[in-house]
Amino acid sequence: MNLIAFKNYEGKELIYLVKVEYKGKTLLKIGFSKGLEGRMDIYELHNPEIQLLKVREGSRSLEGLMHEYFSEFSYPKRKEWFYYNDQIVSEFDTLDENQ
């Protein structure tokens, strides 16, 4: 995602989906941020291969709902991390706080 795209999200509450390879596994992270560009800079510093897959506006409570909804794919001892699954990627944009 380039700087111009980050400007579209400046100052907004966002939920993001990133993908990373870790110990031979493909993982996804569902996270919340009010400063996505800075957050991605930090991730990329520690893992240059991380990929930002999706971004949407959303609250911290929606992020928590997503963690619960996708809990069957959870990576052990990591609340926000999940084993890669197409269901997470495809439903990320459609979940809302009423589900």
Q: Which residue has the higher pLDDT, 82 or 37?
A: 82
Q: What pLDDT is stored for residue 91 in this prediction? A: 96
Please report the pLDDT score of residue 12 as a whole number. Answer: 85
Would you say residue 6 has pLDDT above 80? no
What are the strands of the beta sheet with 25-33, ordered from one edge? Answer: 51-57, 14-22, 25-33, 78-83, 74-75
Q: What pTM did the predictor assign?
A: 0.86
